[in-house]
Amino acid sequence: MRDMWRYIHARTVVRVAARITGPVADRTADVQRYLRRTIESRGGTFAILQVGAYDGVSNDAVHNLLETYPQIRAVLLEPQPGPFAALQKRWKESPTVVPIRAALSDSTGERPLYVIADAFKHTHPYPD
């Protein structure tokens, strides 16, 4: 019953927040501009920790940066097995990019990973 409450509460929060704040703006271009300026101001020496890297390409704000600046070191975290396999395959030849199948937490141990159910994926802009 407690898990059901969390699900209903989370759905309610998402629906109400969307009505109050409107759609979330895509800031990918802003993030990329900021990171490019920062990387170039440091002479190309830079490191990235990406939490939730997914497959390393889809909706990924740092993918192009890692392609453009191969000297950047990056640790890419992704807990889902399917997307992690694609991420690993994508960066297998890169000595500076390290994919890790893990999630970030304030303590060690296992946690449930909640994903959008297949029946509801059509309602979400980034369903996977």
Q: Per residue in 32-82, pLDDT tens? A: 899 889 888 988 778 999 999 999 988 888 888 899 998 899 999 999 999
Average pLDDT value over all residues in the chain: 82
Q: Going by CATH, does the domain composed of 2-105 fall within 3.40.50.150?
A: yes
Pairwise CA distance, residues 27 & 2, whole Å: 35
Token pair recorded at residue 49: 């920790």
Q: Which helix (H) or strand (E) holds 3?
A: helix 2-21
Confidence (pLDDT) at 58 = 84
Confidence (pLDDT) at 4 = 47
Within 13 Å, how many C-alpha atoms sit on residue 14's CB side? 8
pLDDT beyond 50 at 124: yes
Q: Which residue has the tokens 């802003």?
A: 30
Pairwise CA distance, residues 22 & 50, whole Å: 26
pLDDT beyond 50 at 5: no
Pairwise CA distance, residues 48 & 44, whole Å: 12
Pairwise CA distance, residues 72 & 57, whole Å: 17
pLDDT beyond 90 at 29: no
Share of the chain above pLDDT 90, in %: 33
pTM (two decimals): 0.73
